[in-house]
Amino acid sequence: MEATQQTPHIVMVPTPGMGHLIPSIELAKKLILYNNISITYLISNDGSSLEPQKEALQALPKSINAIFLPPVSFDDLPEGTKIETRIVLTLIRSLPSLREAFKDLKERSNITAMVADLFATEAFEVAQEFGVLPFLFYTSAALDLSSMFYLPKLDETYSGEYIDLPEPLKLPGCIPFQARDLVDTLHDRQNEAYKWLLHAVKRYRMADGIILNSFTGLEPGACKALNEDWPGFPPVYPVGPLIRTISSREDEDGSECLKWLNQQPRGSVLFISFGSGGTLSHEQLLELAYGLEMSGQRFLWAVRSPHDLASSGAFFTVKSAENPFYFLPDGFIERTKDLGLVVSSWVPQIKILNHSSTGGFLTHCGWNSTLESVVHGIPLIAWPLFAEQRQNAVLLSEDLKVAVRVQANEKVVGREQIAGYVKGLIEGDEGKMLRKRMEDLKEAAAMAMEKDGSSTRLLAEIAQILSNNRTI
């Protein structure tokens, strides 16, 4: 343990999944720059491999440590239990071991605060038990956090399914959006996952503050409203964009992608990736391949094996070891070899987005990928699949106007439609307008993280609050 008894020590409590751990790590790396803070992660274990988490945490400075808690059992849960339910239960069932680890740390170090993930609000009771500040880290957009603030009232005032609401939702400072674009978990109020999410959201008020991975230059209206128009909720600190930096793995891997990009004209390549958890049906995968071929545009595609029952392969659901190339159209690789590169392994996304040849990104609109696109100024084709991605797509396409959204009115988006989106983004007039607006956001993101930028100032303020175990 690097910390002394006097060094302010912060405990970070993430929940399973790299999508939430990655921005949490970036937050930790920022916080240790202030006030000689040290940090320990308490990692709950759902029983799946923790190698990705261990790899990410082992590469951190010595003042950031991790304790991996014993795995919990899900033998009593029925098959098909929603991801959100399992995430929350992982933390709840880890509470005894988390409490013991916290107690041990408290005896050996000066713990001043706990920062818990948005699904880890049960851990607040441990923070209060040991007299330290409970903070929440919200890893998505201000628009998404606004909908969570509104959820308890919506639950009380509307008895039906939200997808049947006749009017758009109009939240303070946010663009109006249809209820069908709410996070997946809210589409079935009878499911246990809905009840667990509502339970977690009601506990947000227990936090002394909420750290938000967005920034005022990206969502000015929503960020302002979160602190002015939601009485009873804790103050919100937009400190983003917190995104991955280039890792040692990116220096070692991905050379094939980068060598290929080096040979392409500036701004000519569409990067296609649905993230580590996004999956398409086999039929949709075929249509995407044919659409890319029809477009005649250059592309770099990180392809995954299809799955016909789930759009989310993240966490606990889809585990396919099959070669995704097997599912592509016959002859596709050969026919497109002069235009495209298809890879089935991990790709260095940050380096790809930062490459001068990359002119667009077809994305599932996960918030990490969204912020990475903003930081690097890459316009988007928004193809949301699950979680809060439809809300992100609304923000990107209708509010910020840096993306064209795929209109999936039918079960499968056709190849002609896909070809139109791709061609329009890379060489069309609409693509030029999207690119210009994204360049403006890129500049705003850089300003937020400058020495006197809005996010930097708030990070310094949060570090002081967490170090002193008191609100300012």
Is 20 noted as a catalytic residue in this protein? yes
Residue of 9, 20, 355, 364 with catalytic role: 20
- Of 388, 443, 38, whose CA–CA distance to 184 is shortest? 388
Distance linking the first and last C-alpha atoms of the chain = 29
Strand 403-405 and strand 64-71: the pairing is unpaired
- Residue 379 in contact with residue 397, Cβ under 8 Å? no
H or E segment to which residue 75 belongs: none
Residue of 9, 46, 117, 376 with catalytic role: 117
CA 91/CA 118 separation, integer angstroms: 11
> Residue 116 forms beta bridges with which residues?
13, 136
Is 117 noted as a catalytic residue in this protein? yes
- Of 331, 341, 330, 334, whose CA–CA distance to 303 is shortest? 341
CA 389/CA 387 separation, integer angstroms: 6
CA 39/CA 274 separation, integer angstroms: 32
Task: Specify the 3-state DSSP secondary structure of 144.
Answer: helix
- Of 115, 107, 112, whose CA–CA distance to 42 is shortest? 115
- Of 300, 289, 333, 291, whose CA–CA distance to 422 is shortest? 291
Which letter does DSSP use for residue 9 in this model? E
- Side chain identity, residue 20: H
Inter-axis angle of helices 18-31 and 51-58, nearest 10: 10
List, by residue number, the catalytic residues. Answer: 20, 117
